[in-house]
């Protein structure tokens, strides 16, 4: 039965493809009509007011307009709402009763994305935003010897940071990531998947018992991610250690580029498509070899699991990669269900405050991180389900850092009240943002590293 006349949808949300290849997607008049329609429904609902700054901006525009309705808001002001959305998807998945299959068909993040894409195509995007979303390029440059130490010391230089704030719009108080001069993929080059070598090895040693054991071992491709590759290689090391400790062989794809999420959030769909064309063949080759894929950054997992399939629903390789992609704790939970997860823990963790990252929540996989951490004896995990407000770029821009700091406050408050032995987030960037806003000196620790600690590895 259709949802006609029913308040809210009770069916599981069904997300429609983005349809970025249809001319109507790019038609500004049609886009503004759709924005007005969705804004009007939101104005009558207002459930999402506390999720982020996009909704308060919208409701203020409506309340301060002459008619106090959406028709009183100038179309040119719609951008003010769009600029506050960082596509965390929470309003779609955790709040909105009007998502499809409801007849009102509200997909707030998708209409924001469409508005960002139209704006990007028109050239309305700042140089700063194009630069800071080029994570591959920045990582490659910043990890070079000499440049590496220059960039890392510039990040901590107050004078240079003030200049960067004034000239480029990177907030002087924003915490910028440190860059390594030993990228993870270089450190683990021996793990890079080589289909030709694998085939040759298999043909030459068909009777070799050791080779047969190796061939039967479960294998995982680690999508390193720009962040772990260039900023947090130790997190990638920890993922590898945990998988090996669970008798899983780890490989890296033959080539890897940014997953495309930063460019998606900018509305640069052309770059998203280019990155997809570079990443998918290499990942698909490992899927063909029987590998599952994981990544330690929830946004990158979401990109392959959900965003690319919604953009390219007819691309079989995209769909096969999506099917093989797991959140790390989702994968470990699968091992546990199959009786293959190593539960030989050496150290209890005590009280753990755990922030559930939005891009993990919207994967709809359930509280897998908590379920795994709770297997550790004498460990109590408390979930914190609020957005951290960082988003990778929203928390560094001059005009939005104050909102990012405001959004993270309820998380900080809960951690300070809980006084845990450890706290962490699935999203390492959100974790750093939380740490930066805490009034205590306690350091954040990623749930993957908590698992290493419990294993004693």
Q: Is 87 in the site for ligand SF4 (CB under 6 A)?
A: yes
In eight-state DSSP terms, residue 255 is: S
Q: What angle do CA 140, 143, 144 make, to 5 degrees?
A: 90
Q: Is 90 in the site for ligand SF4 (CB under 6 A)?
A: yes
Strand partners, 382: 353
Which pair of tokens denotes residue 351?
């009280």
- Compute how many other C-beta atoms are within 10 angstroms of the C-beta atom of residue 163: 14
Give CA torsion, residues 122, 169, 307, 292, to 10 deg: 140
Judged by CB under 6 A, which stretch of 5-13, 83-91, 279-287, 374-382 contacts ligand SF4? 83-91
Which pair of tokens denotes residue 96?
């909105």
Judged by CB under 6 A, which stretch of 104-112, 318-326, 369-377, 437-445 contacts ligand SF4? 104-112
Decide whether 116 or 432 has the Cβ nearer to ligand SF4: 116
- Tell me how far, at minimum, the Cβ of 1 lies from ligand SF4, in Å: 21
Judged by CB under 6 A, which stretch of 21-29, 51-59, 258-266, 298-306 contacts ligand SF4? 51-59
- Tell me how far, at minimum, the Cβ of 264 lies from ligand SF4, in Å: 12
Q: Is 52 in the site for ligand SF4 (CB under 6 A)?
A: yes
Q: Is 91 in the site for ligand SF4 (CB under 6 A)?
A: yes
Q: Is 232 in the site for ligand SF4 (CB under 6 A)?
A: no
Which pair of tokens denotes residue 415?
């951690």
Q: Give, to the nearest 10 degrees, the angle between helix 209-216 and helix 195-204.
A: 140
Give the neighbor-by-neighbor strand order of the sheet with 292-294. 249-251, 219-222, 292-294, 325-326
Q: Which of 86, 120, 312, 326 binds ligand SF4 (CB under 6 A)?
A: 86
Q: Is 98 in the site for ligand SF4 (CB under 6 A)?
A: yes
Judged by CB under 6 A, which stretch of 101-109, 126-134, 254-262, 372-380 contacts ligand SF4? 101-109
Element (H, E) at 317: helix 316-324
Q: Is 303 in the site for ligand SF4 (CB under 6 A)?
A: no
Helix (H, G, I), strand (E, B) or coil at 170: strand
Q: Is 295 in the site for ligand SF4 (CB under 6 A)?
A: no
Q: Is 259 in the site for ligand SF4 (CB under 6 A)?
A: no
Which pair of tokens denotes residue 161?
């940071």
Q: Show contacts with ligand SF4 in window 105-124 (CB under 6 A).
A: 106, 108-109, 112
Q: Which of 96, 357, 381, 451 binds ligand SF4 (CB under 6 A)?
A: 96
Which pair of tokens denotes residue 238?
């920890």
Q: Is 54 in the site for ligand SF4 (CB under 6 A)?
A: yes
Judged by CB under 6 A, which stretch of 25-33, 42-50, 205-213, 289-297 contacts ligand SF4? 42-50
The span from the CA of 326 to the CA of 321, in Å, is 10
- Compute how many other C-beta atoms are within 10 angstroms of the C-beta atom of residue 302: 27
Which residues, other chains included, contact 245 with Cβ-Cβ below 8 Å and sequence gap of 6+?
342, 455, 457
- Tell me how far, at minimum, the Cβ of 41 lies from ligand SF4, in Å: 5
Helix (H, G, I), strand (E, B) or coil at 131: helix
- Tell me how far, at minimum, the Cβ of 325 lies from ligand SF4, in Å: 21
Site size for ligand SF4 (CB under 6 A)? 23
Binding site for ligand SF4 (CB under 6 A): 41-42, 45-48, 51-52, 54, 85-91, 95-96, 98, 106, 108-109, 112
């Amino acid at each position: 039965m259709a949802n006609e006349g029913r308040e809210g949808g009770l069916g599981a949300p069904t997300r429609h493809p983005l349809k970025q290849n249809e001319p109507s997607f790019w038609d500004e008049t049609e886009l503004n009509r759709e924005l007005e329609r969705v804004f009007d429904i939101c104005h009558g609902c207002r459930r999402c007011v506390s999720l982020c700054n996009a909704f308060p901006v919208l409701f203020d525009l409506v309340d301060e307009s002459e008619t106090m309705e959406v028709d009183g808001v100038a179309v040119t002001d719609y951008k003010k709402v769009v600029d506050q959305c960082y596509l965390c998807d929470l309003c779609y998945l955790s709040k909105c009763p009007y998502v499809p299959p409801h007849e009102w068909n509200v997909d707030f993040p998708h209409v924001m994305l469409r508005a960002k894409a139209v704006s990007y195509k028109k050239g309305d995007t700042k140089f700063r935003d194009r630069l800071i979303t080029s994570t591959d390029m920045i990582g490659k440059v910043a990890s070079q010897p000499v440049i590496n130490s220059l960039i890392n010391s510039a990040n901590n230089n107050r004078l240079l940071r003030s200049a960067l704030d004034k000239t480029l719009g990177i907030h002087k108080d924003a915490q910028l990531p440190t860059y390594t001069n030993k990228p993870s993929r270089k450190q683990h080059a021996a793990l890079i998947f080589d289909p030709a070598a694998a085939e040759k090895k298999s043909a030459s040693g068909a009777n070799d018992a050791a080779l047969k054991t190796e061939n039967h071992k479960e294998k995982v491709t680690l999508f390193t991610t720009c962040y772990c590759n260039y900023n947090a290689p130790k997190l990638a090391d920890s993922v590898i250690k945990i998988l090996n400790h669970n008798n899983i062989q780890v490989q890296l794809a033959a080539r890897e580029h940014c997953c495309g999420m930063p460019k998606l959030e900018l509305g640069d769909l052309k770059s998203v498509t280019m990155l997809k064309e570079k990443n998918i063949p290499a990942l698909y080759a490992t899927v063909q070899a029987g590998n599952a894929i994981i990544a330690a950054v929830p946004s990158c997992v979401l990109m392959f699991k959900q965003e690319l399939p919604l953009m390219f629903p007819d691309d079989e390789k995209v769909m096969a990669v999506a099917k093989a992609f797991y959140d790390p704790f989702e994968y470990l939970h699968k091992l546990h269900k199959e009786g293959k997860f190593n539960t030989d823990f050496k150290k209890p963790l005590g009280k753990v405050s755990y922030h559930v990252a939005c891009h993990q929540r919207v994967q709809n996989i359930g509280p897998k991180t908590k379920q795994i951490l709770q297997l550790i004896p004498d460990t109590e995990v408390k979930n914190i389900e609020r957005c951290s407000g960082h988003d990778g770029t929203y928390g560094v821009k001059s005009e939005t850092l104050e909102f990012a700091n405001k959004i993270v406050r309820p998380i900080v408050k809960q951690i300070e009240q809980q006084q845990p032995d450890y706290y962490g987030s699935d999203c390492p960037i959100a974790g750093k943002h939380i740490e930066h806003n805490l009034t205590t000196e306690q350091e954040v620790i990623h749930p993957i590293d908590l698992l290493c600690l419990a294993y004693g590895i």
